[in-house]
Structure 1
Amino acid sequence: MSEPTRRIDYWQDPNAPKPTSRKTSASIFVRDGEGRLLLLRRVDNDLWTIPTGGVKKGETVGQAGVRECREETGLDVEVVGLVGVFSTPHHVIAYLHGDRVDEVRQPINICLRARLVGGEIRPQPSEAAEVRWVAPADIGEYEIHPALMERIVHGLTSADPYIA
């Protein structure tokens, strides 16, 4: 049986491996009626994040975000705005299969605001170990990568789109 793919996120690390690719991803920033933010715990690095995934051929960024949210959490959302475009070279992701590095990606993320329209929390075991609604005051209690925290903080504190 082959080993699962692991993910290592680097942030402002001069010793990080050099990127071999760039890929666009979509993330979803969605709050419930009580103002809590939807978070999930990734299975490939055990960190908390908002729903996020790659944009596939033949779909829009919005469609990718909606699909990823449904796949990872079981919840259906509708895109209502833009949190921002995050493309810092300080964030590099290495994907490993066993001890072999398959890819080192410098991501371009388009973070979308969304509203909940249906579904129920049902994490897919291959996508999320856990899914929960988290009060903004409690976000600091979760282990979140700095690149994702940047998106979350901007989404919580500004209505203006972030472009960098």
Structure 2
Amino acid sequence: MSSRRDYYHDPAAPRANSLVPGGSALVVDDQGRVLLQRRADSGNWALPGGTMDIGETLSECVVREVKEETGLEIEIAGLLGIYTDPQHVIAYADGEVRQEFNITLYGRAIGGALAVSDESTDVRFVDPSEFSRIPIHDTVRLRLRHHVEHRATPHIG
């Protein structure tokens, strides 16, 4: 059984009791492919990222999480969007029900080598043409769609 369950616009979702700031990185290679990891807990492909630790900035959090989860060293290159939809909650086995709070930053790879972590079963750059054929949670699909649309301004919602 998974240690977490995502609910998205689901009337049966439990009520959120937690809000934790986090971030993820949208890293694109020179062929336009996006860095994704296949999550060990859900089997879905997702952007690398995680929650902030006390004492670090959001940028430091995203750089750290990408290194831990993918093996790549990145630098921050911009803002894709702020994603705080109260209709997306994540229920954990310990009773925490967290409302989504994710700031997705653009990142640029500057070193390291792709490596799977204990949080993933695969890590690779994925061509946008593959997005519709692989399991990706709707909230991550939204971020990928915003990237592909080449929006002039970041998403705030």
Give the TM interval when normalised to the shorter protein: over 0.9
Q: In structure 1, how many angstroms separate the alpha carbons of the residues matched to 2:137 and 2:2?
A: 18
- The TM-score normalised by the length of structure 1 is 0.91
Q: Which 4+ runs in 1 deviate beyond 4 A?
A: none
Which residue identity does 1:104 align to in structure 2?
V
TM-score norm. by structure 2 comes to 0.95
Contact 2:70 2:114 in 1 (8 A): yes
Once the two structures are TM-superposed, the CA of residue 141 in structure 1 deviates from its matched residue by 1.1
Residue 135 of structure 1 corresponds to 127
Structure 2 matches for 1:1-40, cutoff 5 A? Answer: 6-40=3-37
Structure 2: segments with no counterpart, 5+ residues: none
Number of residue-to-residue matches in the alignment: 156
3-state SS in 2 of match to 1:72: helix
CA contact (8 A) 1:22 1:106 kept: yes
Measured after TM superposition, the shift of residue 120 of structure 1 is: 0.6
* Equivalent in the alignment of 2:45: 48
Counterpart for residue 105 of structure 2: 112
Q: Kindly state the Cα deviation for residue 102 of structure 1 after the two structures are TM-superposed.
A: 2.8
Determine whether 1:58 maps to 2:55: yes
| Contact 1:71–1:127 under 8 Å retained in 2 | no
- 2:72 is aligned, of 69, 75, 94, to 75
Contact 1:83 1:159 (C-alpha < 8 Å) held by counterparts: no
Asked if structure 2 preserves the Cα contact closer than 8 Å seen for 1:30 and 1:38, the reply is yes
Distance 1:116 1:65 in 2: 12
What is the Cα deviation at residue 5 of structure 1? 6.4
Amino acid at match of 1:151: R
Partner of 1:103: 96
CA contact (8 A) 2:2 2:42 kept: no
